[in-house]
Amino acid sequence: MTEKRVLNCIVPPHILAKLLESSDAEIREAAMRTLLTTMRLQGEREVRATLLGRAAPAEGRRTVYDCRHSTFLPSAVLARSEDGASSGDDSVNRAFDGFGATRQFYLEIMGRNSIDDRGMRLDGYVHRGVDYNNAFWDGQEMVFGDGDGRIFSDFTGSLDVIGHELTHGVTEHTAGLEYHNQSGALNESMSDVMGCLVKQWTMRQTAEDADWLIGAEVFTPGFDGDALRSLKAPGTAYDNDTFGKDPQPDHMDGYLELPDTDEGDNGGVHLNSGIPNHAFYQAAVGIGGYAWEAAGHIWYESLRASTPTTDFQAFADTTVGKAGDLYGSSEQDAVRDAWDHVGISVSSGTARRRPPVSVPGGNGTTAEVARDMDQLLAQVERLRQDLHLPA
Amino acid sequence: MKLTLVESGGLAAGLRLGRPPLVLDLSTLPEADARELADLVSVARQAPAAAESSRRVPDEMSYTITVDDGEAQEALHRSDTTMSQGFAELVDRLHRLASSG
Ligand SMILES: [Zn+2]
């Protein structure tokens, strides 16, 4: 073995990132070692920002269309584009800004370049239909209604709802979780979780301080309740004469067996999502600090490692494994306890050993390098703790 | 003629679950409203649902309108991404008449 080379630490991170793509394995390894050292000296955040800043800044271009109350999307008119002026219409601007915040969250925090990680354009349609009480993702675009003005107001009003819809696109391009029964409830939960994280990240709120509500702003003041759903306390988002009590369970004991039909919400995907939603909340609070950091990364990496038919148990197992791989035993314990809290137990045999610090392959895209960075940062953090270095 | 509308799914699926359907008996409506609704029903009936893709569309709503003319019942089932503009107009009109009545 030759002596391990470390490049001079004044080499800027973006040059190092370029060197990571070198065809020479020795240069790649030296670049990675240097990055590790640089991160320990300069701090993770700056290095990360420099690297991610290179990730295709003009991609994920946003376009918002005005349906003018039609349900026929092809007849909608252009209302705002990426380089265009802001609109006189608040719904248009809220959708545009919400896409921007969600795009930035995925880029900076998850190292993901838009919905498909390849800079997919973000198209939104507002003012769909008449008094339409909904928003959805149709595989290509996000569509928002104005609400009926009595119970519901504009669905562009909640940033977490915008993050929720965009995340349906992310899930479709990663695990592809089938939209029924448990895989469907996980699909819904991932959208609620990431929707909350986009909002918390934008507001710089800790897990402790956040309200963990979905869609608090899509209701008029005439609605007697807090929101559509609560991750902190599923089943408590509303309780009134018109709609009854929020039916979401927060534990497997309350799992709702509903028919896998449209009328049964495809097996209760928006209801049973309360169970994994609450597990995420428990994990985030258990780990502490900002939920988009350890807990968010563990969930996102678990989504990427899932398949169309992943169920609650399999997903729980994956998150506990990822917590050990990416972070350490205290995070892993917090994630295991979180699932235990909702009635899903993950045996300790599932926990994997920490992998050694590895040199990522040198032919990845910038986004792949950014993802490798996530793992690297977790390794650096463990190193720091092992060596008892100050943060 | 009696029309029944059941809506399900969507981002607010939890709020819709188990809610009573919207029912309108055309014989109780002013003649002009009843005639207009009957026309909208025949337009909605004629436009078939757009081909549904094999994958389900996250958060889209679905609608079942049951048309009961006293002798036979017919159920029209559509979703946000499969319904015709005529069907959308019928849903909208049913909402309006139900909230004003
Ligand atoms: Zn959803």
CATH number where A134 lies? 3.10.170.10
List the helix and strand counts (H, then E) for chain B.
3, 4
pLDDT at A15: 56
Q: Write out the H or E segment, with its range, that includes residue B79.
A: strand B73-79
What local confidence, expressed as pLDDT, does residue A363 receive? 41
pLDDT of residue B18: 83
Quick one: what percent of chain B has pLDDT higher than 90? 81
Domain residues for the domain of B8 are 1-30
Distance CA A55, CA A137 (A): 25
Q: Are A166 and A114 in contact (CB under 8 A)?
A: no
Domains: count for chain A: 2
Please give the average per-residue pLDDT across B45-63, as a whole number: 86
A217 and A356 share a domain? yes
How many whole angstroms separate alpha carbon B43 and alpha carbon B84?
A: 9
Domain assignment present for B50: no
Residues of chain A with pLDDT under 50: 1-3, 8-9, 54-56, 353-367, 391
CA A42 – CA A93 distance, rounded (Å):
37
Q: Which pair of tokens denotes residue A260?
A: 């896998």
The pTM of this model reads: 0.82
User: Nearest to residue A19, comparing CAs of A35, A4, A37, A3?
Assistant: A35
The pLDDT of residue A368: 54
Q: How far is the CA of A269 from the centre of ligand 1 (A)?
A: 9
Say yes or no for a CB contact (<8 Å) between A138 and B9.
no
Measured CA to CA in angstroms, residue A305 lies from A187, A214, A228, B2, B70 at distances of 13, 25, 29, 51, 55
Task: Find the mean pLDDT for residues B30-56.
Answer: 88
* Catalytic member of A44, A165, A301, A381: A165
User: Out of A155, A187, A262, whose CB is closest to B58?
Assistant: A187
Rounded CA separation A273/A234 (Å): 9
Between chain A and chain B, the number of residue pairs with CB atoms below 8 A apart is 106
Instruction: Give, as one character, the DSSP assignment of residue A82.
Output: T
3-state secondary structure of B89: helix
* Distance between CA atoms of residues A251 and B49, nearest Å: 38
Q: A134: domain range?
A: 8-177
Residue B8, domain member (yes or no): yes
Q: Element (H or E) spanning A63, and its range?
A: strand A62-66
> If you measure CA to CA, which chain A residue comes closest to B6?
A263
Classify residue A141: in a domain, yes or no. yes
Element (H, E) at B78: strand B73-79
Give pLDDT, residue B85: 93
Question: What would the two tokens of residue A264 be?
Answer: 């049964």
**Yes or no, beta carbons of B79 and A263 under 8 Å apart:** no
Q: Which residues pair with B3 in a beta bridge?
A: B24, B67
A130, A137, A246 member nearest B14 (Cβ):
A246
Residue B10 lies in a domain: yes
pLDDT at A56: 44
Whether A69 and A202 share a structural domain: no
Residues in a beta bridge with B78: B63
In a domain, B85, yes or no: no
Q: Is B9 domain-assigned?
A: yes
Domain count, chain B: 1
- The letter for the amino acid at A81 is S
Nearest-by-Cβ selection for B59 from A130, A135, A262: A135
CA–centroid distance, A297 to ligand 1, in Å, is 20
Residue A349 Cα to ligand 1 middle (Å): 33
Per-residue confidence (pLDDT) for residue B49, from 0 to 100: 79
Q: Is there a domain that residue B59 lies in?
A: no
Q: Is residue A1 part of a domain?
A: no
The three-point CA angle A95-A97-A98 to 5° equals 60
From the CB of residue A206, how many other CB atoms can be counted at a distance below 10 Å? 13
Q: Calculate the alpha carbon distances from B72 to B12, B25, B38, B59, B66 in Å.
A: 33, 15, 15, 32, 10
Q: From residue A171, give the alpha-carbon distance in Å to each of A68, A162, B41.
A: 29, 14, 38
Say whether B12 and A263 touch across the interface (CB within 8 A): no
- Ligand 1 center–CA B57 separation, angstroms: 9
Give CA angle at A121 (A120, A125), nearest 5°.
Answer: 135
Domain contains B36: no
Tokens standing for residue A239:
């309780």
Asked whether residue A97 is assigned to any structural domain, the reply reads: yes
Q: Do B9 and A244 touch (CB under 8 A)?
A: no
